[in-house]
Amino acid sequence: MTGLIDFLVELRKNNNREWFQAHKGEYDALRTQFIADVEQLIARLATYDEELRGLRVEDCIYRIYRDIRFSPDKTPYKTYFSAYIARGGKKSPRAGYYLHIEPGNVALSGGIWCPDTRLIKALRQAIYDNLDEWQSIVEAPQFIQNYPTFVGETLKMTPRDFPKEGDHTKWVKRKDYTVWGLQTDDFISRPDWIEQAAQKLLLIKPMNDFLNYTVDELSY
């Protein structure tokens, strides 16, 4: 992905249609390479995660164009490339793997982001009912080493369906179950970065399997 970070740095400085159109050829070449790289990443992940087999790369990659209709920020372009790899693609409610490439914020991520009300309630209950199993996954040393941070919002108070105190409280307060593993900007310039990314992302698979058990129970 040589040149992508540099392009995104310049786009951040010149987030307007005139600059983007003048550099459209460069963008098209970088996006074509990104699609090819994500396709390879899917193939590597699918070797160990069977539910990704047959997944189309086109269903996983996000557009660079921002939806500015209801946003006070009227800049037209995202300043990052990203892809969500899960059965059903980027619109899937399933736990999956997320690749985010942004200057100063290159990250490997995964889990479930912004589940609807029915799903978040079911996920909280599943974690409460199987707390030892959940903790054995997300508190494993190798997992924490690569994914030290859960991101997203949390409730201020423990939901009323659960005891107010205990090891479960920090988990049932969560509105998202998503981990974030920050990488250096030069990560995507390494010759074997796709293989490295696959190995790191597959550390999330046990957590995804745990979460997707509940997704499947709800028949999404």
Look at residue 78 in the predicted model and tell me its pLDDT: 97
Q: Mean pLDDT per 10-residue run, the chain (220 residues)?
A: 90 97 97 98 98 97 91 92 97 97 98 97 98 98 97 96 95 98 97 98 98 92
Look at residue 67 in the predicted model and tell me its pLDDT: 87
Which value, in Å, is the radius of gyration of the alpha carbons in the chain?
19
CA dihedral 4, 197, 116, 133 (to 10 degrees): -160
Look at residue 12 in the predicted model and tell me its pLDDT: 97
Interatomic CA distance for residues 219 and 88, integer angstroms: 13
- Whether the CB-CB separation of 99 and 38 falls below 8 Å is answered with yes
- The pTM score is 0.95
Integer CA distances (angstroms), 170 to 95, 99, 127, 128, 130, in order: 20, 26, 11, 11, 14
Look at residue 219 in the predicted model and tell me its pLDDT: 82
